[in-house]
Structure 1
Amino acid sequence: MNEDERFPQAGPVDDERADALLERELRQAAAVLDPVPEALRQLALDAYALHDLDARIAELTFDSLMDALPVRGVTDAPRMLTFSAGEVTVDVEVTEDGLIGQVLPPRSVHIEVLGGPRTARPVPVDSLGRFTSDTPPAGPFALRLRTGTEVIVTEWLRA
């Protein structure tokens, strides 16, 4: 009996089975030794739920941290942001107390603040497109606007 007969080579089917078995064992070990925190799991589910091929991205066109000229003596100026998606513009002021903004041109829109491990927080919008949120964003955040016919999501930014 030669060496090849004593130690047969594993075929592609055997390799796939071994890989699948190893992957299953590694997943079980990770679930026991290093489980995914529930808040992170929920955040991943929420992020996947945001996956909408029809959503337009509102690009950041102005950020006072980058584009504004500094004003002498002003140390705690609020951060001003402008997002644009086609004809829709969203102006946002980020303060220690929360967000203040306006959608232009004014329209009927539902706005949600996205960010962190929390779920999306709806923000009331008046007939002139003005909105306020009394919860300051902690960490990365974005805005999701829903009109009757489209969904617009701003770029994600760190507060």
Structure 2
Amino acid sequence: MNDMNDDDLNEDPSSRGRNGLGDDDLSGEGDWGDDEFDAGLLEEELRQAAAVLDPVPGELQQLAVDAYALHDLDARVAELTFDSLVDALPVRGVTDVPRMLTFRAGEVTVDVEVTARGLMGQVLPPQPARIEVLGGPRPGSPLTADDLGRFTGDVPLSGPFALRLRTGEDVVVTEWLRA
């Protein structure tokens, strides 16, 4: 049984959909011909549309570039194991409490106290170290830990920050936190 009538035979094929079938054929099955899907072209068009409709703020783009430039493939990441904002019980009536942080990477532990005036801390096991306070696009503030692993910095922290420690041959970078 043939479902076609004389009108179907006389119809101009160009008036049909892209696949040569009528618009009512939505099955997705059809001969797409020689047209190939170009994912690269689609991606580029989407990037251009996003750049116009929802551009990345320049400051955020610079932060991303700077953060990537700071990465150190040989560095071990020190995991945050204690944060007094999360893990400690609040004391009633006490204001301006310093934030206590503990980071651990293998055998190295870093205890840090963050206040409105800056930070101080200790590297354990006690050892000398060079420490950089990383904070966004500006260069890290250099600190030096003494033979007992103690260090202080009088630069108040604001925004995201991390610490990069260099102890002998080891490089350890802490997780990023918001001050």
TM-score, normalised with respect to structure 2: 0.69
Q: Which has the higher helix share?
A: 1
Asked whether 1:140 is paired with 2:163, we answer no
Identity %: 68
Q: Which residue of 1 aligns with 2:36?
A: 14
Unaligned 5+ segments in structure 2 are 1-8, 21-30
CA distance in 1, matches of 2:50, 2:107: 48
Deviates more, 1:45-54 or 1:94-103: 45-54
User: Which amino acid is 1:28 matched to?
Assistant: Q
User: Which amino acid is 1:56 matched to?
Assistant: R
Q: Which has the higher contact order (CA 8 A, sep 6+)?
A: 1
Aligned counterpart in structure 1 of residue 111 of structure 2, from 91, 94, 115: 91
Report how many aligned residue pairs link the two structures. Answer: 154
TM-score, normalised with respect to structure 1: 0.76
Unaligned 5+ segments in structure 1 are none
Bigger Rg over Cα:
2
User: Which amino acid is 1:15 matched to?
Assistant: F
Q: Which runs of 4+ in 1 moved over 6 A?
A: none
Cα RMSD (Å) of the superposition?
Answer: 2.8
* Paired residues for 1:1-159 under 5 Å: 7=20, 9-11=32-34, 14-16=36-38, 19-116=39-136, 118-128=137-147, 129-159=149-179
* Displacement after TM superposition at 1:21 (Å): 2.6
User: Which amino acid is 2:138 matched to?
Assistant: T
